[in-house]
Structure 1
Amino acid sequence: MAELQMLLEEEIPAGRRALLDSFTNLERVAEYCESNYVQSPDKHVALEETKNYTTQSLASVAYLINTLANNVLQMLDIQLLYSSLYKALS
């Protein structure tokens, strides 16, 4: 029961907040990349830097989504277990 409570009260809300923060950070990265590209005398270097930021940002978001999804699945598994136990005892 403590694990379910921890998931519901801490892990899942923290994962959601991390995704929301990531959204804000992605906007900042996009603004920086656009500004950097426009101002850069070497467009090739600026484009490569943008590709690197994009790759890192997408990997970070994918990790956050994976972590949150795993926590939600774990929560559902625990709830299913409790539901099955409740039905068995009824």
Structure 2
Amino acid sequence: MAELQMLLEEEIPAGRSALLDSFTNLERVAEYCESNYVQSPDKHRALEETKNYTTQSLASVAYLINTLANNVLQMLDIQASHTSVLLFL
């Protein structure tokens, strides 16, 4: 029961918050990349930098989504096992 409580009160809200923060950070990265590309005399280098930021940002978001999804699945598994125990009582 403590594991379920930790998931509901800490892990899942923290994961959701991290995704919301990621959204804000992605907006900043996009603004930076656009500005950098427009102002850069070396468009090829600016484009490569944008690709690198994009790859890193998407990997970070994918990791956050995966972690949150795993926590939600774990929560559902715990709830299902508790429900099945109650049904047999």
Matched, 1:67 2:57: no
Residue 49 (structure 1) shift = 0.1
CA distance in 1, matches of 2:55, 2:21: 18
Aligned to 1:34: 34
Instruction: Note the residue ranges of structure 2 that are not aligned, 5 or more in a row.
Output: none
Matched, 1:45 2:45: yes
Structure 2 residue matching 1:27: 3-state secondary structure: helix
CA distance in 2, matches of 1:66, 1:31: 26
- Number of residues of Structure 1 aligned to a counterpart in Structure 2: 89
Structure 2 length-normalised TM: 1.00
Deviations 1:5-45 (Å, cap 9, x if unpaired)?
Answer: 00000000000000000000000000000000000000000
Aligned to 1:3: 3
- In the alignment, residue 85 of structure 1 is paired with which amino acid? V
The root-mean-square deviation of aligned C-alpha atoms, in Å, is 0.2
The percentage of aligned residue pairs carrying the same residue is 89
CA distance in 2, matches of 1:46, 1:88: 63
- In the alignment, residue 77 of structure 1 is paired with which amino acid? D
CA distance in 1, matches of 2:16, 2:36: 30
CA distance in 1, matches of 2:22, 2:42: 29
- In the alignment, residue 10 of structure 1 is paired with which amino acid? E
- In the alignment, residue 24 of structure 1 is paired with which amino acid? T
Structure 2 residue matching 1:41: 3-state secondary structure: coil
- In the alignment, residue 4 of structure 2 is paired with which amino acid? L
Residue 47 (structure 1) shift = 0.1
